[in-house]
Amino acid sequence: MAAAEVARQGEGCRTVPLSGHVGFDSLPDQLVNKSVNHGFCFNILCVGETGLGKSTLMDTLFNTKFEGDPASHSQPGVQLKSSTYDLQESNVNLKLTIVSTVGFGDQINKEDSYKPIVEFIDAQFEAYLQEELKIKRVLHNYHDTRIHACLYFIAPTGHSLKSLDLVTMKKLDSKVNIIPIIAKSDAISKSELTKFKIKITSELVSNGVQIYQFPTDDESVAEINGTMNAHLPFAVIGSTEELKIGNKMMKARQYPWGTVQVENEAHCDFVKLREMLIRVNMEDLREQTHTRHYELYRRCKLEEMGFKDTDPDSKPFSLQETYEAKRNEFLGELQKKEEAMRQMFVQRVKEKEAELKEAEKELHEKFDRLKKLHQDEKKKLEDHKLLKEIRKGKIRVSCRAFPFAPEVNAPHIQLTRSHAILPVSSPLLIAPLLRSPVCSK
């Protein structure tokens, strides 16, 4: 190949012409086939007050009757109900999950109404993250439950957004693609609807609520998406009832004064919603969920766990290094804790030892006291015995009295018998002994 034929593009990458058909132009077809075989999944979250037409709109959108009983208005809190269905259109399989709020807007205190919704969305991200972090992960088979689109049902009041709507949308906008829709829009006149849409849009902007914008970077859909962005929020009507209009059966709602056709663009924006949500931007919604919302959740979660891409000097920090640093930090903390526990143990042992010593000392003192008591008692007994024997004349003694013997600080006598000196210590014995005839002084 001539050097002139080789064009340099970027660093180390050259564009080279092919001299014949190779076959990699079939890659897009391979991708399509693989995707079709694998099937798709799409998850919609319907947020809206009880009875605003959430279930009816889902039935209308997917041309079927999903199960679902109406919710009561007496729920103590907001709950989320999720149902998954397998749908097939031509040869394309779609696993559709519809999640709906139950009891939304029914409580007197609506302060925490958004919380269960946020928690549910986070729980789906968390489940995906846990699967991603597994050593043996099966993401190709994983049932992805992350919410791809959140249809936010606005009540057709004609006034403005309720604070519940603003708070909830604000809490959700960084987690999910929000598509606001005006529900039951047949309840609002044409001129009111125009004003209502403008009011809603300005309230969303002034409160900094980011709603999903249909993408305009793909040329093939840029025009239609651009036009549709200007129509948001869509004013929709739902009905599963089919009425004969002209010679065609159409989805409509019949009233005493006339008929409103769901798929008539002059009557409502249902067709626009269906086009944008299902026929044009379903894949973008899935992609945005993964690349924007999930990515944000993942980043925050990993940062929370202490993982970073750069070190304090803004140099790249690999996962391995982060792990090592975290491990060392953990081991350091563990060592500190161990040392503190050891110190505490030594202190406790010292305290216990001191307590035991004190108890031992007390015991010794008690023992000495008892011993002395015992000796005194023994001496008294011996004195009595001696006295008895002296009285009976068995022993002849001479005695010397020391009325205040210094060693016992009490009256005291000494009896002398056979050269032995027998002390009598008990003062009680002294008097009778001195009076005794056996005692020769």
Considering the rule CB under 6 A, would residue 98 count as an interface residue with ligand GTP? no
Look at the block and give the residue holding tokens 């980043």.
299
Where does this chain touch ligand GTP (CB under 6 A) — which range of 49-57, 162-170, 368-376, 433-441? Answer: 49-57
Residue 410 Ramachandran class (φ > 0 left, ψ -120 to 50 alpha, else beta): beta
Amino acid, res. 345: F
Query: Structure tokens of 93?
Result: 């399989």
Residue 50 or 107 with smaller CB distance to Mg ion: 50
The minimum distance between CB 69 and ligand GTP, in angstroms, equals: 8
For residue 147, the minimal CB distance to ligand GTP (Å) is 17
Q: In what order do the strands lie in the sheet with 410-417?
A: 420-424, 410-417, 397-405, 439-440
The site string for ligand GTP over 186-205 (x = CB under 6 A, - otherwise) reads xx------------------
User: What does each C-alpha distance from 308 to 129, 130, 132, 312, 320 come to in angstroms?
Assistant: 17, 18, 18, 10, 11
Neighbours of 36 (CB within 10 A): 13
Q: Quick one: what does residue 411 bind among ligand GTP, Mg ion, none, with the CB cut-off 5 to 8 Å set by partner type? A: none
Tokens of 166: 């603003």
For residue 412, state whether it binds ligand GTP (rule: CB under 6 A): no
Q: Cβ–Cβ contacts within 10 Å for residue 40, how many?
A: 16
Q: Among residues 40, 51, 158, 170, which is the contact residue for ligand GTP, using CB under 6 A?
A: 51
Q: Which residues contact 186 (CB under 8 A, 6 or more apart)?
A: 237, 253, 255, 260, 267, 268
Which DSSP category does 310 fall into? B
> Site mask, Mg ion, residues 35-74, x = CB under 5 A?
-------------------xx------------x------
Does residue 256 bind ligand GTP (CB under 6 A)?
no
Contact between 113 and Mg ion per CB under 5 A: no
Contact call for residue 52 and ligand GTP (CB under 6 A): yes
Distance, in Å, from the CA atom of 313 to the CA atom of 317, rounded to the nearest integer, reads: 10
Q: Select from 48-56, 273-281, 330-338, 344-352 the region that touches ligand GTP (CB under 6 A).
A: 48-56
- 54 contacts ligand GTP (rule: CB under 6 A): yes
What tokens appear for 273 in the block? 């919603």
- Which H/E stretch holds residue 424? strand 420-424
Shortest distance, position 179 Cβ to ligand GTP, whole Å? 16
x/- track of binding to ligand GTP for residues 65-94 (CB under 6 A): -----xx-----------------------
Q: What whole-number distance in Å separates Cα of residue 72 and Cα of residue 311?
A: 54
Nearest position to ligand GTP, beta carbon = 53
Can residue 281 be called a binding residue for Mg ion (CB under 5 A)?
Answer: no
- Beta bridge partners of residue 152, listed in sequence order: 47, 180
Positions that interact with ligand GTP (CB under 6 A): 48, 50-56, 70-71, 100, 184, 186-187, 237-238, 253
Positions that interact with Mg ion (CB under 5 A): 54-55, 68
